[in-house]
Structures are given as structure tokens and as C-alpha cells.
Structure 1
Amino acid sequence: MTSLPGGDSAQPNHQQYVVCARCGTSAQGTPLTWSYSVEDGVGRHVCDSCAREHIRAIETRLDSDWW
């Protein structure tokens, strides 16, 4: 087994998935069109469809429980 700089062993690149906090849509990696916020110390991704639907609430920083 080959070792990479930093001590990590060579393993296949595993893609991470993110899930929309509103509708549950999942995507490989983090799409550039998705929104990300932190509420009560918890990071939340919101897909582009949900972000468009609730853009005014997002821009005014209302908690997602409100919208």
C-alpha cells in the first residue's frame, strides 16, 4: 500500500453526499447553486429549488422553522 503526504494511505476517492434540510434531495458533493447556513450551531444545506422558493426568508435570516 502506498502512503500519501500527510500519512494518508492511498484509497479510492469517496465522494460525499449532501442532503437538503427542507426536501431531502441529495447531491454528490456540494452543488454551487445550493445554499448553506448555520442555525443553532448546526450547518444546513438547502437545494436550489427550496432556496428559490424561500429566498426572502433566507435573506432576512429567519429561522427555517418559520418558513
Structure 2
Amino acid sequence: MTSDPGSDGDRGSEAEPQAQPLVCARCGIRADGPRPTWTCSVENGARIHFCDTCSRENLRAIEGRLDSAWW
């Protein structure tokens, strides 16, 4: 018995999504794995990440809750 793509046996559309690599929203550097020290921010409903360097350089603006467009 073969399974056609639209049958209940096909789980391709229900598979868990692949985790996207982290990319710094400021400098564009890509993380090669999990980065627990990166900063995560929600701006305009979107989750964005900043690398260690960009986070340190803009710490006051981040703590002041300024959108990244201002810094």
C-alpha cells in the first residue's frame, strides 16, 4: 500500500518547524548555536535578537526601552 501526499499517513505538513538561526538585528552576525547571552526584544510585535557586542554598546538605550530604530 502506498501513501499519497494528501493522505493521513503524510506528516510532512504537521512536522515541527526547524529552529531558525539567530541573526543580530543590528550588525547581522549569525549565531552558530544557542546564545543565552544575546538580548531578545519584542518591537512592534516581532521578536528580534541582538548579539553581545551590540547589546553592550547600546545598553543604556535598551534599559531605557527605546526601540532599536532610535539607536
- Larger radius of gyration between Structure 1 and Structure 2: 2
TM-score (norm 2): 0.70
Percent identity (aligned) = 55
Higher strand share: 1
Alpha-carbon RMSD: 1.9
1:11 aligns with: none
Q: Which runs of 4+ in 1 moved over 3 A?
A: none
TM-score for the superposition, normalised by structure 1: 0.74
Q: Which runs of no fewer than 5 residues in structure 2 stay unpaired?
A: 1-10, 13-17
For structure 1, the residue ranges without an aligned partner over 5 or more in a row are 1-6, 9-13
Higher normalized helix content (fraction of residues):
2
